[in-house]
Amino acid sequence: MKNPWWNDFLSLFFPLLCLLCRYNQRTTNQPLCLACQAKLSPTNLHLHHENEFTDRFIGRVQLETATALYYFSKTSKVQTLLHLLKYGDRPMIGVQLGRWYGYLLKEQALFSTIDLIIPVPLHPKRERQRGYNQSTQFAMGLSEALNIPYKEGVLERRMYTTTQTGKNRFDRLENVLSAFQLKQKDIIAGKHVLLVDDVLTTGATLEACALQLLEAPDVKISMATIAIAMN
Ligand SMILES: [Zn+2]
């Protein structure tokens, strides 16, 4: 399927449809049609090792670099895309966005030093309900495009927190910090790990995961998400 002529030939009979509008055609490498792409705001954060993503972790976690594909706002098309990925039984959205982003990240030298991609885990109960972990889908696409392995099971999510409303900020943070546990220390020792999630909001989840990964010796951490919420 790597042959572009073959893909062109196939597209005569099976046109690739945009993952968002599912109406317009897209090209093989692009997850979205041109019209939908125009409605999204790519961040280009990957062009700078230090950026507004890494800034949010200053004093919390030491990062090599971090990046997000799109800016997120409650009214944007990115929200539709993430909602379909999480609740619409559309795991391929994660894979396709991962492939596309991996293709862009490949151009940046720092990302070529990554040894292993680790998705933020869901609680097993929630993953069974959803049928997949959206962060793993994104990790799979990144892994394919970057030619870097991904691995599940390194971190485990322990608690099943259905709602966090009614708790104060400190309780919420405590709740999240104790939700993850490092299960496979040896696998990440001495490695540069790319921790992957769907969206960066407060950063509490990514922080909790990173702090666990740093329990292993000589670990370097970078992060990538599909979207970053604007403050
Ligand atoms: Zn579209």
**Interval between CA 23 and ligand 1 midpoint (Å):** 6
Average pLDDT over residues 107-132: 94
Return the pLDDT at 46.
96
DSSP string, 167-223: S-HHHHHHHHHTSEEE--HHHHTT-EEEEEEEEESSSHHHHHHHHHHTTSTT-EEEE
Instruction: Tell me the average pLDDT of the chain.
Output: 90
pLDDT digit string (tens) for 74-97? 778 899 999 999 999 999 999 999
Q: How much distance in Å is there from the Cα of 26 to the middle of ligand 1?
A: 8
Distance 82 CA to ligand 1 centre (A): 14
Tens digits of per-residue pLDDT, 93-109?
999 999 999 999 998 99
For residue 202, report the distance from its CA to the centre of ligand 1, in Å. 29
Question: Percent of the chain scored above 70 by pLDDT?
Answer: 88
Q: CA dihedral in degrees (151, 152, 154, 155; nearest 10)?
A: 140
How much is the average pLDDT of 188-212? Answer: 96
pLDDT at 75: 77
Ligand 1 mean position to 182 CA, how many Å? 39
For 20, the token pair is 């968002």
- 73 pLDDT band, cuts 50/70/90, is confident
Q: According to the model, what pLDDT value does residue 28 have?
A: 81
Residue 16's pLDDT is 87
Going from the Cα of 72 to the center of ligand 1, the distance in angstroms, rounded, reads: 17
Q: How confident is the model at residue 158 (pLDDT cuts 50, 70, 90)?
A: confident
- Residue 98 CA to ligand 1 center (angstroms) comes to 17
**According to the model, what pLDDT value does residue 175 have?**
76
- CA of 37 from ligand 1 middle (Å) equals 7
* Confidence band for 48, pLDDT divided at 50, 70 and 90: very high
Element (H, E) at 74: none
> Domain ranges in the chain?
42-229
Domain 42-229, what fold? Rossmann fold (3.40.50)
Residue 94 CA, ligand 1 centroid: distance in Å: 16
More confident residue, 173 or 216: 216
- Helix (H), strand (E), coil (C) string for 8-51: HHHHHHCCCECCCCCCCECCCCCCCCHHHHHHCCECCHHHCCCC
Q: Which tokens belong to 58?
A: 């200053």
Smallest CA-to-CA distance from 153 within 118, 128, 126 is with 118
Distance 117 CA to ligand 1 centre (A): 29
